[in-house]
Amino acid sequence: MLPTITVNNKKCTDPLSCRKCLLICPTHVLGLGTKVGPKKHQEIDPSQFIVAGVRFEKCTGCMDCVNVCPKSAIQVSF
């Protein structure tokens, strides 16, 4: 059964600077994206970046991302 990974983007306000969950995940389940999608030849405002689960099938349930998040913005459930 695949996990459900929820990131509260109201709590995770600066994923570009923090990146702790992205760096600690041994299987790279989480990814960095934007709320606005790709914009060719345009700079994207840093406030538009979000963390989201992208490789759910790779999640081992280690909960490292939940434990390292300083804002308690990540929830994993099975």
Chain centroid to CA 32: how far?
A: 6
pTM for this model (two decimals): 0.86
pLDDT at residue 46, rounded to an integer: 87
CATH topology assigned to domain 4-70: Alpha-Beta Plaits (3.30.70)
pLDDT tens digits, one per residue of 6-31? 999 999 999 999 999 999 999 999 99
Q: Provide the residue count of the chain.
A: 78
DSSP lists the bridge partners of residue 41 as none
pLDDT tens digits, one per residue of 34-54? 888 777 778 888 889 999 999
Q: Is 65 exposed, middle or buried (0-12, 13-18, 19+ CB in 10 A)?
A: buried
DSSP lists the bridge partners of residue 4 as 77
